[in-house]
Amino acid sequence: MEGMEYFLEVFGGVPRAGPGSSESTRRPYGLMSAVPPCPRILDIGCGPGVQTVDLLKMSGGEVLALDFLPLMLERTQSNAANAGVSDRLTVLEQDMTQMDFPAASFDIIWSEGAIYHLGFERGLQKIKKFLRPGGHVAVSEAVWLKPDPPAPVVEFWKQYPEIDTIENKLAVIRRLGYEPEGHFVLPADTWMRDYYEPMELILAEKIKLWEGDSQGQAVIEEAQQEIALYRQYSGYYGYAFFVMKRPQEKEISHHGHPPDIQHY
């Protein structure tokens, strides 16, 4: 196997692609004001699509689920079919850095634990033009929960220099011209119960299967270290969900519906 295949065997095998839960998807949706009936939603970095299905159920609208991994899109389609909502789902295999949609195409843009691939500020800036005036954005993002994190935590998060305090993230949101609608920190059990504990079951299997395989063992060790770090230092970092609105702009006239997402 190649390096990415080992990674996907572990990180791609869990029910969710990152910390989260159905409740942590419903809650930000409920923070949005004046959501239109049957909204058009873009789910960026959808992973296996657990939250995609929740969005389809909650909204009654259409969702375009974007991911660069065909495996994740297949799982999203399967999950949607099992839930009976696949008729309102479109999937798009694309790297989020290459996204290019007509202006004001979506009522809601969603991204759980994935906006970091673009960078928080760059990502919010990039997607704003795809959002209709008055539309909403909901993203979960890594944040510091208290100051002076210990050295192992600082070292781990060097891989994502944009991790910051909630206050500083809100400042970025305002600077980009969004109106914050609400935010909250994801509970610790969304990391353990919904993400790391299912991953540990996979790791227990792979330890035996990949015995003597240096690439496989390296992926196992990386995952084990990440889990151990969170168990010891979860008070210092986590994910926060940020919900924001693109203000209505007097100079922009928006008539009718945005283009049908089936055309992408």
Residues 131-186 pLDDT 10s: 999 999 999 999 999 999 999 999 999 999 999 999 999 999 999 999 999 999 99
- How much is the average pLDDT of 78-86? 98
d(CA 25, CA 98) in angstroms, rounded, equals 25
Average pLDDT over residues 247-256: 58
**In this predicted structure, what is the pLDDT of residue 4?**
85
Domain borders along the chain are: 17-188+235-245
Mean pLDDT of the chain: 93
Cβ neighbors of 213 (< 8 A, separation 6 or more) are: none
The CATH number of 17-188+235-245, from 3.40.50.150, 2.60.40.10, 3.30.70.100, 3.20.20.10, is: 3.40.50.150
- What is the pLDDT at residue 255? 40
**pTM for the whole structure:** 0.92
Instruction: Return all residues near 224 (Cβ < 8 A) that are at least 6 apart.
Output: 203
The yes-or-no verdict on residue 264 having pLDDT over 50 is: no
CA nearest neighbour of 92 among 120, 115, 69, 113: 69
What DSSP element (H or E) covers 225? helix 214-233
- Each residue of 176-229: pLDDT tens digit? 999 999 999 999 999 999 999 999 999 999 999 999 999 999 999 999 999 999
Exposure string over 15-31, b if 16+ CB within 10 A, otherwise e = ebbbbbbeebbebbbeb
Query: Which letter does DSSP use for residue 211 in this model?
Result: T
Structure token pair of residue 215:
């690439």
Is the model more confident about 25 or about 262?
Answer: 25
